[in-house]
Structure 1
Amino acid sequence: MRGCAITLFLVFLFPAQVASGVEQCEAGDSVAVLVSPDLVIAGDPVRVLFASEAPLADVRVSAGSISGACEAVIVAQGGGPPFWVAVNVPSAPQKDFEVRLVGDEIAACMAVRPGQWTPRPKPRKGAWPVQRKWERGTENLYSAWLEYLFLVPEGTFWRPLHQVLRDPARNLLINHLGMGEDDPATGLRLEPDCADNPYTLRAYFAWKLGLPFGYSGCDRGGKRRAPSCTTFTSNLDAGTSRAPLKAASRFLRQVAGGVHSASARTRLKDDRTDFYPVALRRNALRPGTIFADPYGHTLMLVRFVPQQAGAPGTLLAVDAQPDGTVAVKRFWRGNFLFVTDGVVGEPGFKAFRPVVQDGGKLRTLTNEEIAPHPDYAFFSLEQQGMSTTDFFDQMDRIINPTPLDPTSAYRQLHEALHEQLLTRVQAVENGELHHRQGGVSPIPMPTGLAVFQTSGPWEDYSTPSRDMRLLIAMDSLLDFPERVVRTPGAFSIPSGTTPDRVRSELLALRNEWWDEYRIEYLRSDGSRFELTLADIFARAEALEIGYNPNDCPEVRWGAPARSGEISTCRRHLPPAQSRLMKQYRSWFHERRRPSW
């Protein structure tokens, strides 16, 4: 990193904690640094996160004080952009010490003064005081923190979100403020659904670092009108409390109750929103970028795994389900739906609008302010009116710049579908647990569009949206061999063969793989029943009416009538719900979720 400039974005709330020797650390403007906990105590572990726009490859870390060197270990690195390195100092020295990230020359340096813990002062106004600002450095730290938090294999899940935030191996900001805010007994309880999840993570990070945060009050739109927002509520507008943890917890609950699935589907050109649209480019699709699908589901990007020789690239995201499950999922047509015709609002990839102080109040930047801003040069309207085909073709080129071998791409689709089925296994079991534990039974079924979006037990345990995405995913996999024939230029077809021959080879592999990939679901009597991928595809029509949690799991997985598999079924739909299911079946059969 020869010649780079470095600015250290200090996370300390008390200037006395920064050692007097900080000026000895060579500084510039390209690396942001986060140190946790907020007040370092001698003998306690210290976590340091470095984040940069430029690669941080081939670096090493060192730490030491006037008393000598101390142990410092790189525990993970990733990106990017942003590129990042996470460092652990197992035991802070008694004296002032420095943590240096070193390449060909010093890349970044942080000087730290251990002190005695004192509680964070209660906010004079709002849920927490604003002590830092959003800029490229803090945005990069946010992205890096998210990537490290969810640096786990695809398919990993927690229920609810606070389970991962309470994991010291995952959360670099765990108990950062020294008030036991992430302890199971006394800490935050964070149980967001898909709409709340991005807001909750952004607000959590902002609270820990003293950054501004806010959310808009939006309606849900109408038949010919996108959702729009009117009010804006920030952390400074929230009620204060004598206990800082209580104030933050109350505000986070207020955020969860104030946002909904339409909050992210506002018009791309609209300024009075919480998100702005970003370009479909690799450097714009960073951890923390959200994806709003046209039907109300929201995901948040957490990691980009670049394409390598023999291995396809992968874009990973997290989402939350109504039952509180938070899971890591890959980008593909089965998880990300993109349609711009005949839907309410405008879907796509979007980023949180920066919240800034202006005249003593907090507000969000407008599109006109964001577009030329050196820290936020990702604003773009290219997704507006984009066709589904063009969108996914563009994303395929971003994730895999080199055309994929058709066999590898086909295998990747099978893996993605298998992961999707495994998450459904868990979702169906959550519904069964509700009934076994004496929950409301039968669960009332809403009518019309509310089947996809309501509140209460139906929202928590039914799976209409999940099953719609599953059926679309199955169609995508079925179509893939034909897609190779239609668009051979999108793939790396071996010389000496033809697209038609590749299709035949893929169909042969399909028979093999459909027996290889399997799931097990829990039947009504507690026994496990195994299904192959071939079984699942044979039951596609039955899955069109498998989303009602009042049905037994055997029915929800499409068990044939009068089979041994169905013999353990002990629960059936009320007749009125059965009639509604038949009435709505065409939506699932046609893979066409009504938008109004």
Structure 2
Amino acid sequence: MGTWAGVLALVAVATAAQAQDSADAQSGAAVHITLPDGRVARAQAVPEDRGNTQAEASPADILRAASAGYTSGNYIIRATRWSENDEKEYSQFIAELGESGCTNVNRCLHDPRNPYRGSDPAGLVFRADCADLPYYLRFYFAWKRGLPFSFANEVEPRGRTRDMRYTAAGNRVASRLFPAGYNGYAVLDYLRDVISSASYRIHPELESPQQDFYSPVISTKSIRPGTVVYDPNGHLITVWKVERNGRIHYMDAHPDYSVTRGFYDVRFVRSSPGMGAGFKNWRPQILEGATRQADGSYTGGRIVMAANKAISDYSLEQFFGNGKRPAEDRDWASGGFTLNGERIGYYDYVRGQLAGGTLLFDPLREIGDMVDSNCDDLKYRGAAVDLAIAAGIQKRAQPDQLPANIYGTEGDWEMYSSPSRDARLKTAFKETYETTRRFVEMAKKGDTKLSYKGKNIAADMLAVYDAHAARCTITYQKSDGSKISFGYEDARRRLFEMSFDPYHCIERRWGAKGDELKTCQDGSVKQAWYEAERPLRNQIDRAYDTRMDFTLSELKQPGPGRGIAAPPETDVRSWLVREARTRAARR
């Protein structure tokens, strides 16, 4: 989540103020201001250290002050609801941004594929991280089209938690805000400060107040460009394309505002319904009771959100399976998925459903695409590391201890470290290895879900693997200014040597050894930290609820939160070589 003027994370409430009046009067922690449309706003300021709250500015104050800084671009409502055509055009808007190849949020919204770019000042800079981006894009489109958009501007935990982004039982909506009349750029700034991944961590059946999303059925009509996916490990992606074979393409943003792309797969984990993971579509909302002005715009009124039962494609199958629902939420994982009478895994089910009900893999294309995707992720990682180096973080002294949790934090560590990004990258390499072995086993069994007509699938996949890997080159500038390049296989071998710690030299960030490491200027303390962090680098599962604020001496001791002894297997090539030889010998 961003910070307002680098000081406060502002959590604003606009519709549930009365229920809080008594408590607020006793605590003095909130202020109430009437918004232009007559609603009451309550605002609460939460310092970044999550200490005691204190009264600060209300949403109206913030938006009014920020709006004054812009000379044009007020959010004017010109329709009372989103039509079916509006939703189709929103999907097209997202698809165009995805197709553009834009590499950061600012470039995306200034890209020629954005049909509304001409209405934005050329020098304006757009910024959003992973949690912000879905809201940022949805509001931007609504604003430019004059469509109604309200949003949950405060959530609260269901139970005790250290960090609402990782509440075990999830969160609930505490209030909503309809920012009509304010400047659209000011609203974008405000969204960036009140939205975090905690905003998505909501049970799909909670409806009072209504949440911004609903859980859709897994179908070609429902999973489309603009659909959001929430990973309960704290990451958000936006679908921008679904291929005919059911493969989902996504784009996402990062704390440095970069935009990356990839395929939906096991990196985006399932979890209990209370955590609200998985696919999310924007909940329909209607403006009621508004007054239409002479120019066709609307003022006043209130937003009414559609109930789950009123949404034709609302479904809980992604949580409980497409058979009989388990009796209790805690048994969610026992729900099964069946496609064409065959019990299959969740990710295969999604793929099959989005392919129109037929699950079919082309192993040669799949292996090539996975290598290409992994190469892209390595380059995205490189851009993030370069930002840390440019900021000079590696020149600072190593802190005396790690953050409370290396995956879920704030400040420089959130901006410049890469444990979560690296974990997803390592998971992708592991998935490439496991998927390759799976295809070989499917071929041995004559599985009809495999589209392959050759005689030696291992040899053929190896040839494709090598061809795509040969096109991948990673280059970085060492501490002395010289450049070094290496290929895909070398990158894979370095994978668990690459430091996620932003205080380390760029050579260690890229897992250098031998002569390549000689230009690193890290001292003995940083070297000791690098070695002590090795078990954390071996770990691909992100544990957000685990204490990790260890000193160097504590980190060297075995125990919870300190990682694992050995990394998972990722050596696809060696396995394919052995398997290809074995199959050739049997012929």
Query: When the two structures are superposed, what TM-score results if normalisation uses the length of structure 1?
Result: 0.65
Amino acid at match of 2:382: V
Partners of 2:476 and 2:539 in 1: CA distance: 26
Match of 1:292 among 223, 230, 254: 230
Measured after TM superposition, the shift of residue 490 of structure 1 is 6.3
Partners of 2:254 and 2:401 in 1: CA distance: 18
The answer for the alignment partner of 2:103 in structure 1 is 158
The answer for the alignment partner of 1:173 in structure 2 is 116
The answer for the alignment partner of 1:109 in structure 2 is none
The answer for the alignment partner of 2:284 in structure 1 is 354
C-alpha spacing 1:583/1:366, structure 2 compared with 1 (3 Å): farther
C-alpha spacing 1:487/1:542, structure 2 compared with 1 (3 Å): same
Amino acid at match of 1:405: D
Measured after TM superposition, the shift of residue 143 of structure 1 is 1.1
Partners of 1:332 and 1:528 in 2: CA distance: 34
C-alpha spacing 1:315/1:441, structure 2 compared with 1 (3 Å): same
Partners of 2:147 and 2:128 in 1: CA distance: 21
Match of 2:77 among 113, 129, 136: 129
Partner-residue secondary structure (3-state), 1:363? strand
The answer for the alignment partner of 2:520 in structure 1 is 569
Mapping of residues 134-533 of structure 1, within 5 Å: 134-152=82-100, 156-159=101-104, 161-167=105-111, 169-176=112-119, 182-185=120-123, 187=124, 189-216=125-152, 217-219=154-156, 220=164, 224-236=168-180, 247-271=183-207, 272-307=210-245, 314-333=247-266, 336-340=267-271, 345-359=275-289, 360-370=301-311, 377-385=312-320, 390-398=345-353, 401=358, 403-435=360-392, 441-442=396-397, 447=402, 450-488=405-443, 489=447, 491-492=449-450, 494=452, 497=455, 501-503=456-458, 505-507=460-462, 510=465, 514-533=469-488
Amino acid at match of 1:329: G
- Post-superposition Cα deviations, 1:296-349, rounded to whole Å, max 9, x if no partner, equal 110111123435xxxxx653222111001123333344xx412326x9713111
C-alpha spacing 1:316/1:265, structure 2 compared with 1 (3 Å): same
Amino acid at match of 1:266: I
Match of 1:553 among 483, 506, 514: 506
Amino acid at match of 2:219: R
C-alpha spacing 1:365/1:136, structure 2 compared with 1 (3 Å): same
Measured after TM superposition, the shift of residue 151 of structure 1 is 2.4
Partner-residue secondary structure (3-state), 2:89? helix
Contact 1:193 1:320 in 2 (8 A): yes
Measured after TM superposition, the shift of residue 584 of structure 1 is 6.2
Partner-residue secondary structure (3-state), 1:150? helix
Partners of 2:347 and 2:524 in 1: CA distance: 38
Contact 2:166 2:234 in 1 (8 A): no
C-alpha spacing 1:212/1:583, structure 2 compared with 1 (3 Å): farther
* 1:591 corresponds to 2:540: yes
The answer for the alignment partner of 2:489 in structure 1 is 534
Partner-residue secondary structure (3-state), 2:318? coil
C-alpha spacing 1:443/1:231, structure 2 compared with 1 (3 Å): farther
Partners of 1:255 and 1:295 in 2: CA distance: 21
C-alpha spacing 1:440/1:267, structure 2 compared with 1 (3 Å): farther
Contact 2:78 2:147 in 1 (8 A): yes
Moved more, 452-461 or 129-138: 129-138
C-alpha spacing 1:595/1:205, structure 2 compared with 1 (3 Å): same
Measured after TM superposition, the shift of residue 462 of structure 1 is 1.1
Partner-residue secondary structure (3-state), 1:317? strand
Partners of 2:423 and 2:535 in 1: CA distance: 11
Partner-residue secondary structure (3-state), 2:93? helix
Amino acid at match of 2:423: M
Partners of 1:533 and 1:490 in 2: CA distance: 32
Partners of 2:468 and 2:184 in 1: CA distance: 50
Partner-residue secondary structure (3-state), 2:287? strand
Partner-residue secondary structure (3-state), 1:534? helix
Partners of 2:224 and 2:233 in 1: CA distance: 23
Ranges of 4+ aligned residues in structure 1 off by more than 6 Å: 119-123, 581-584
Task: Give the count of matched residue pairs.
Answer: 430
Unaligned runs of 5+ in 2: 1-69, 157-163, 290-300, 322-332, 338-343, 546-587
The answer for the alignment partner of 2:581 in structure 1 is none
- Post-superposition Cα deviations, 1:490-535, rounded to whole Å, max 9, x if no partner, equal 64354574xxx42355356546654553322222223221122221
- Post-superposition Cα deviations, 1:465-493, rounded to whole Å, max 9, x if no partner, equal 11000110111111223212444436435
Partner-residue secondary structure (3-state), 1:542? coil
- Post-superposition Cα deviations, 1:399-419, rounded to whole Å, max 9, x if no partner, equal 554623322221121111111
Unaligned runs of 5+ in 1: 1-118, 177-181, 242-246, 308-312, 371-376
Greater helix proportion: 2
C-alpha spacing 1:587/1:257, structure 2 compared with 1 (3 Å): same
- Post-superposition Cα deviations, 1:136-185, rounded to whole Å, max 9, x if no partner, equal 12111211222223323xxx3333x2322223x21111234xxxxx1223
C-alpha spacing 1:493/1:356, structure 2 compared with 1 (3 Å): closer
Measured after TM superposition, the shift of residue 582 of structure 1 is 6.3
Measured after TM superposition, the shift of residue 440 of structure 1 is 8.6
Amino acid at match of 2:250: A
Partners of 1:121 and 1:332 in 2: CA distance: 42
Partners of 2:203 and 2:81 in 1: CA distance: 26
Contact 1:218 1:259 in 2 (8 A): no
Contact 1:462 1:548 in 2 (8 A): yes
Partners of 1:269 and 1:573 in 2: CA distance: 53
Query: When the two structures are superposed, what TM-score results if normalisation uses the length of structure 2?
Result: 0.66
Partners of 1:535 and 1:293 in 2: CA distance: 29
Q: What root-mean-square deviation, in Å, do the aligned CA atoms of Structure 1 and Structure 2 show?
A: 3.2
Measured after TM superposition, the shift of residue 448 of structure 1 is 5.4
C-alpha spacing 1:484/1:122, structure 2 compared with 1 (3 Å): closer
Contact 2:240 2:249 in 1 (8 A): yes
Partners of 1:222 and 1:329 in 2: CA distance: 24
Partners of 2:420 and 2:118 in 1: CA distance: 36
Amino acid at match of 2:229: F
Partners of 2:206 and 2:72 in 1: CA distance: 38
Contact 2:403 2:409 in 1 (8 A): no
